[in-house]
Amino acid sequence: MGEIHEPGLLVYLGITHGDGLDEVEWMARKIWDVRILRDEQSASDLSAPILVVSQFTLYGDARKGRRPTWQAALPGPVSEPAYEAFCLELETLGATVARGVFGADMQVASINDGPVTLLLER
């Protein structure tokens, strides 16, 4: 189970249809370089660690009825390799990456310094 013990980023990663290697690499670079930390610095500026948690529920759709659908989320056999590619790309860029357990029912705790929550899409 992944964890970080210093200021860094908590990334909830959802993978949807059409997300390929290009999107995964773009997202890793964007997260590594986006200036959202203290004094407008990026994780790359501070060598801040990143905890990456797979989160298919980001693509839940509850607009109709009482139960959300998950049709926009890619199934695990397809999205897990993309999740791993995302983490590896971050590491290639120089990030220290902690991983959640893919597909697990996890308890995630965080202390927000801000807080800042962004939805990044290409």
Annotated catalytic residues are: 55-57
* HEC per residue, the chain: CCCCCCCCEEEEECCECCCCHHHHHHHHHHHHHCCCEHHHECHHHHCCCEEEEECHHHHCECCCCCCCECCCECCHHHHHHHHHHHHHHHHHHCCCEEECCCCCCCCCCCCCCCCCCCCCCC
